[in-house]
Structure 1
């Protein structure tokens, strides 16, 4: 595997908005989510709000944003530990296989360690085999199955 020239991972910056929006739309399309500028704008607002739990880092290669990782802090009562939850990770298809995803995950494991947290955790789609190949090389696959229930209407 070759790495991308001049790859850096840094916090999201307001100047990243046009490129982040492009990548986030592509991420949503990859997961077959309906187009929604409301969701894109709401998420951007969360990421730019210093008081919101969601944060982001971006990967920059050769001066261009080529990927992002949205994350937040979590606690695990059953283990008495805390960590970082990786909500979304996406890299531009043009740079896949060049270390961008690995660099984004490494930034989050470094962040977790610097804050005294014990883990970084995430989920992925069961058919996202390319991502799983990377994830299997940087993390331990758990035995947990994820469920999701809709909020009860008022």
Structure 2
């Protein structure tokens, strides 16, 4: 059953609830225990989300006065469009709220923000094993087939 959700920009007073969701998100991707993000990285991420001047922005999904999900987006120039593009870097829904429309509404809100800013494209990636999310993503966007490579610089 869909939840009654409010999607809104993240606020300073969301810090503790966001941090708990952020911890769960990172654990989902294996960043927990000895592999957990250091506290200075978590704080830097929060500071970027709170900076009105930076390219990093956050949305939260709220239900019954508690946070049940978030989306972190980054606007940046690119080499294939004149206008900026939007990278949906992180998208997370609390486990017990999955399959109830939260992620779909968060992505829809990202699309609306992009349209209001004149940004015509949004992209993101997820792990190939994230089959539940991919079922939704396949309805909302095109899988371009590109793979992500990462290396230490």
User: Is the pair's TM-score, using the shorter chain for normalization, greater than 0.5?
Assistant: yes
Count of paired positions: 149
Runs of 4+ with >3 A deviation: none
Q: Given the alignment of the two structures, is residue 126 of structure 1 paired with residue 128 of structure 2, yes or no?
A: yes
Describe the SS at the equivalent of 2:48: helix
CA distance in 2, matches of 1:45, 1:59: 19
Q: Given the alignment of the two structures, is residue 60 of structure 1 paired with residue 58 of structure 2, yes or no?
A: no
Describe the SS at the equivalent of 1:76: coil
CA displacement, residues 56-110 of structure 1 (integer Å, 9 cap, x when unaligned): 0000111111000000112331244432110100110010001000000000001
When normalised by structure 2's length, the TM-score is 0.91
1:23 aligns to what?
21
Structure 1 residue 50: Cα displacement: 1.8
Instruction: Kindly indicate whether the alpha-carbon contact (under 8 Å) linking 1:53 and 1:72 is maintained by their aligned counterparts in 2.
Output: yes
Farther off after superposition, 116-125 or 35-44: 35-44
The structure 2 residue matched to 1:96, chosen from 98, 118, 122, is: 98
For structure 1, the residue ranges without an aligned partner over 5 or more in a row are none
1:75 aligns to what?
77
Q: Given the alignment of the two structures, is residue 11 of structure 1 paired with residue 13 of structure 2, yes or no?
A: no
1:117 aligns to what?
119
RMSD of Structure 2 on Structure 1 (CA): 1.3
Describe the SS at the equivalent of 1:3: coil
Structure 1 residue 19: Cα displacement: 0.3
Instruction: Kindly indicate whether the alpha-carbon contact (under 8 Å) linking 1:3 and 1:98 is maintained by their aligned counterparts in 2.
Output: yes
When normalised by structure 1's length, the TM-score is 0.91
